[in-house]
Amino acid sequence: MSDHLLDIVGLWTVFVSDEGTAAAVSELNLHLDQGETIGIVGESGCGKSVTALSIMRLISSPGRIEKGRIEFLGTDLLKLSEPDMRAVRGNDISMIFQEPMTSLNPVLKVGDQIGEVYRLHRGLTKRDSWNASIEMMQKVGIPSPEQRVRDYPHQMSGGMRQRVMIAMALACDPSLMLADEPTTALDVTIQAQILELMNEIKKQKGTGIVLITHDLGIVAEMAARVAVMYAGRIVEHASVSDLFFSAQHPYTVGLLKSIPRIRRARGKDTQKLPVIPGMVPDLRRLPRGCAFQDRCGEVASICNEPPELELKRSGHLVRCWKR
């Protein structure tokens, strides 16, 4: 039995089609303690969202969790019956989904959708759940919540819908929150407000947060540790300070170099932003050995053999032959 809030061991999640099998998540090992935030970063298609959906057991056909363990407070979620898992979702574990428009029911008022969380998991009456929804909408920065609670999703902007999703995720003070690009559709002012709210809940309730994002600035502000994923695997895992100041994997180095930085104008300074060449490989046709070799500037013959995720120094794991 694990002492961690969340302990993922040897997780494999695959998608099967006529064209082959794609391992969206491969041999993933990850843990999270109470009151801790871990960031998961990487390009689109690297397995970040599939990892969160696997934790929630929301992988649908043609996908399946092939093997591994996902232990939450010592209980393997993969062994729970569907009714037991349904009781966990939204109550003990919540998720902020990446696409609010497709995650909200278009024919229900947002107040009813937030209130459903309170009715299902807290047993509140319809009136009490409605009032709790208004209070939660106010907490996530929705103006005039007494009026907006009666809106349908199509009557709200993308940012408003995202805040409704966040309100639903935070409603029951979950022990574990999975945040998949939680501030993508928000302006910087509301973004800061939401991140502050997440931090407050973490401090008050000991909530553990898995933060999935493309924004390394948010990771630097929110997370204690960060896992970098590429082609379904973790290629580097370290504390935020170690990763930002001493990144080891060539992919991580490329991500950090591609962050836009404010430079003082110097005449005709037209220096281009560095980019990582190429594209994320097709998961059904990964190259033999290191999946990053076709895009790596340090590739060598040894890269034709698959590297293991190895401890290079205290708390710093890297999947690379040359590091």
Range of the domain at 294: 1-80+227-259+281-323
Judge whether 46 lies within some domain: yes
Q: Is residue 120 part of a domain?
A: no
Phi, psi of 23 (to 5 degrees): -85, 95
Cα–Cα distance measured from residue 41 to residue 213, given in angstroms and rounded to the nearest whole number = 6
Residue 129's Cβ-count burial label (10 Å; 0-12, 13-18, 19+) is buried
User: What angle (nearest 5°) sits at the alpha carbon of residue 312, between those of residues 256 and 276?
Assistant: 25
CA 99, CA 161: separation in Å to the nearest integer?
9
pLDDT at 184: 75
49, part of any domain: yes
pLDDT digits (tens, 9 = 90+) for 109-139: 999 999 999 999 999 999 999 999 999 999 8
Residue 196 lies in a domain: no
* 268 found inside a domain: no
Residue 100 CB partners (closer than 8 Å, separation 6+): 153, 158, 161, 162, 164, 165, 185
80 token code pair:
């729970």
Query: Is 273 a member of any domain?
Result: no
Q: What are the beta bridge partners of residue 40? A: 212, 227
Distance of CA 265 to the CA centre of its chain: 36
Residue 85: other Cβ atoms inside 10 A: 16
Read off the CATH number of the domain in which 294 is found: 3.40.50.300
Please, are residues 32 and 176 in contact by the beta-carbon 8 Å criterion?
yes
| More confident call, 199 vs 71 | 71
* 37 part of a folded domain: yes
Q: What is the pLDDT of residues 9-54, one digit of tens each?
A: 999 999 999 889 999 999 999 999 999 999 999 999 999 999 999 9
Task: Report the mean per-residue pLDDT for the chain.
Answer: 91
Q: Is residue 285 part of a domain?
A: yes
Determine contact, residues 90/120, Cβ cutoff 8 Å.
yes
Beta carbons within 10 angstroms of residue 146's beta carbon: 11
**Mean per-residue pLDDT, 248-268:** 78
Element (H or E) spanning 27, and its range?
Answer: strand 20-32
Q: Tokens 């928000």 — which residue?
A: 186
Confidence category of residue 3, pLDDT binned at 50, 70, 90: confident
Give the chain's domain count.
Answer: 1
